[in-house]
Amino acid sequence: MAAEKQGISLDNLREKGILKEKSAQIFELGMWIKAIESYFRLEGNTLFRSEGYSLAQRNFVEEIKIIDNLLLRITRLCVSIIGTEEWNLMKFYEYVDNILLKKDKPRIINQPRNGHYQKSIQDLFDQLADIRLIIKDFLANSRISYDAFIGVGKIINREIASFPFLYELKGYEFNQIYDRVENAKISRIVKQISDRQVRKEQARIFLELFRLLNYLRFIDPGDDEIRRVKMSLPIYAQFYNELHILFDHIEDNIRHMSSHLISYAEVLRNFIHGTSAELKKVFNHELLGIVILRNDMEIRKKVLDSSRILQNHIERSIVRFGQFFDRSLKGGDIFEHFVTRREETLKLRRILLEIMKSLDAFMMDKDKGTFKSFISQIKEFKDDYLKYLRYQDWEVFDRYITAFLKAKSQRDLLRTSEDFNKYLTELFQQIGSRSVLSDEYLKV
């Protein structure tokens, strides 16, 4: 089997034309292979770390279920890459060998063409199917320990490492078939960068950011089955992992940049700072404890909000990088449904102003109906608009909502209302001072 595995690589697939023909499936396969590794890397996985529980006390049943569903998806990709007709033929030949001929008679049927490549994919399918049988027995237990969870991860990653073409897919270099920037304006911007060092660096950043956007296409909060919705968590883990690899690469390059590139270095630092803040929103808030949630609608909402936060930020980052080199570039030139941060901020101010008016109305008439309307507004704001605030404002907003709901007297309500009114006034002014509302800002 080892000899069979060593015979196939991405170069072999490229020569056979399979890499181009099956580029979508191979891209997805590579994403899942890397996502598995990231999901088991607990020391860097905030999906586990931020929950605040001891790893020794955690029950990893739900995490193992996610991995089981992910392995099922990979086995289906194996069939898709080979083709259903070819796959059925292979299984027929296997049946003839193992059942009819019992491996003690000479072969009388020829293998399908490209059999070496197909045999390697079939080996992967069979071994992952065996691992799923082990996982099925694991899931019969009510509790799975940290050590058992890590053990499953080691077994899976060892199997993946034994297949050269899968091991190559785990690399972070780019493939010319499916890692491409299709937008003509971005391609033109890169080609027109005169400094060779900057051109190379910016090309890598664009490729990485567009690849991350491609990852988000595989997250579907509206999927009929909640198990497939939960499969987005390894993708988020890989998203986090690849961004931090990119951060390390950028910071290393900044240290070696020439002094005349100081303005470009500042753009890179701003990207790292802003992206880190958005990652905190997703991993320290939206996805916190999501693995153990039982409410399907809540899971879907958290997955959706996380995807939107990351997509909006990555799209804006691409536009900002593009504008650094071409001030005439507009967000709509790259993304069809691009929403500018200016438009988002104006809407945020408008909603906050409505909340402030409702709060003023309650403080004046002290009516229960007015208070219920106000509470309904701030709950809706929390669900739909809180993600547009700075991360440090999320906890403050939550604290005030809790104070309103736990108030035992009208005096407590009015005291909380006065404090909240001061906070909203400061927040409204802070949002109004954002650079996106100044005339000098590049309107994307």
Output the tens digit of pLDDT for each of the chain's 444 residues: 333 344 445 555 554 555 566 778 888 988 999 999 889 886 555 566 545 556 677 788 989 999 999 999 998 998 888 777 776 666 666 666 666 555 554 444 344 334 455 677 778 888 888 999 989 988 888 889 888 888 999 999 888 888 776 766 666 566 666 677 888 999 999 999 999 989 999 999 999 999 999 999 999 888 889 999 999 999 999 999 999 999 999 999 999 888 889 999 999 999 999 999 999 989 888 888 888 888 888 899 899 889 989 999 999 999 999 999 999 998 888 887 777 777 878 888 889 999 999 999 989 888 888 888 899 998 888 888 887 787 778 888 888 888 988 888 888 889 999 999 999 998 888 887 765 555 434 343
Name 154's Cβ contacts closer than 8 Å, sequence gap at least 6: 40
DSSP state of 256: T
Q: In 3-state terms, the chain is what percent helix, strand and coil (to 5)?
A: 75, 0, 25
Residues 17-51 as b or e (16 or more Cβ within 10 Å = b): ebbeebeebbbbbbbbbbbbbbbbbbeebbbbeee
With beta carbons less than 8 A apart as the criterion, state whether 436 and 341 touch: yes
> Do the Cβ atoms of 241 and 44 come closer than 8 Å?
yes
Residue 389 confidence (pLDDT): 81
Q: What angle do CA 35, 130, 163 make, to 5 degrees?
A: 55
Cα angle at 87 between 86 and 89, to 5 degrees? 65
Q: What pLDDT is attached to residue 207?
A: 92
> What is the pLDDT at residue 336?
78
CA pair distance 125, 121, nearest whole angstrom: 6
Amino acid, single-letter form, for residue 405: L
Alpha-carbon gap, residue 440 to 444, rounded angstroms: 12
- Using an 8 Å Cβ cutoff, are 25 and 67 in contact? no
Q: What span, in angstroms and rounded, lies between the C-alpha atoms of 32 and 233?
A: 11
Please tell me the distance from the alpha carbon of residue 159 to that of residue 2, in angstroms, as a whole number: 11
Distance between start and end Cα atoms, the chain: 55
Helix (H) or strand (E) holding 41: none
278-281 contacts, C-beta under 8 A, 24 or more apart: 278/309, 278/310, 278/313, 279/240, 279/243, 280/391, 281/309, 281/387, 281/391, 281/394
pLDDT of residue 140: 87
Answer whether 9's CB lies under 8 Å from 168's CB: yes
d(Cα 132, Cα 143) in Å, to the nearest integer?
A: 17
* Count of all residues that appear for the chain in the document: 444
So what's the pLDDT on residue 50? 44
* Per-residue confidence (pLDDT) for residue 7, from 0 to 100: 43
In this structure, the dihedral spanned by the alpha carbons of residues 319, 317, 232 and 53, taken in order and rounded to 10 degrees, is -170
Are 51 and 288 spatial neighbours (Cβ–Cβ below 8 Å)?
A: yes
Measured on CA atoms in the order 180, 211, 242, 9, is the torsion positive or negative?
negative
Q: What integer pLDDT is reported at residue 348 of this predicted model?
A: 86
Query: E strand or H helix at 284, and its extent?
Result: none
| pLDDT in the model for residue 438 | 52
Amino acid at 152: V
CA distances from 222 to 218, 287, 301 (A): 12, 17, 9
Do residues 144 and 128 touch, judged by C-beta distance below 8 A?
A: no
DSSP single-letter state for residue 110? P
